[in-house]
Structure 1
Amino acid sequence: MIRRRRKSESEPTIALINVVFLMLIFFLVAGTIAPSLDKDLQLVRTADIEGTAPADALVLHPDGRMTNRGRDIGSAAAFVGSLPEEARADIRIIPDRDVPASTLVALGRELREAGAERVLIVTERGMP
């Protein structure tokens, strides 16, 4: 009995190269078909905009101290009481990064009990 030698099956590298090449051509064509912006359009520059906290926001520091416009606030009720009636609808809290979550939740609860309709937490937006 003579054994036949098996031919080593070659990998279809040519087919793989063709598929990759076709994908490259597809993406090149799809990129050129997309409409471009008008040449005379100038986008808004935000590099020079000063990012400051809203004036009516309550700043919560890591040690539990609360300030508004640079002045210390004794309690949440005192802060809500100092606001005009229309400003009590939305109250913003700007917490420090190191404030414990339990302190932030307790402050939100106190503000709601003092008459705030909605309590909003102002955070830093990450880059997309």
Structure 2
Amino acid sequence: MKLFSYSSCSTCRRAIKWLKNNDIAFKLIDLLKFPPSKEILISASELYGDRKYLLNTSGVMYRSIGSDVIKKMTDKEFFEQLCMEPRLIKRPFLYKSNKCFLVGFKEEKWAEKLLLNSHEG
């Protein structure tokens, strides 16, 4: 399991603490240095049903590009942009398998996916 995180992100720190408190093994990856691959991002987008769920809409980078510009991007442009500018990716970004991603940290959702259904995904 890979956790793409950003060291100054308080939500990422909460997710890391939660994973450790629940004895869930994971590999911590610096999101800015080693962002998820385009293939992983596309799989997550397909699983969530919409690419907008991958976006860090509260970030400076998102606001500087503008939601209108991002909405008009083709899928190819969108995923290339995420890879070039990983600050656009909502974090933390947890990759367990191509059928199990968690984007952002909501304790209930993480517990449901990682504790209650630990045999899946």
TM range (shorter): under 0.3
Q: Please give the TM-score of this superposition, normalised by the length of structure 2.
A: 0.23
In our comparison, the structure showing a higher alpha carbon Rg is: 1
Larger relative contact order (Cα-Cα within 8 Å, sequence gap ≥ 6)? 2
More helix per residue: 2
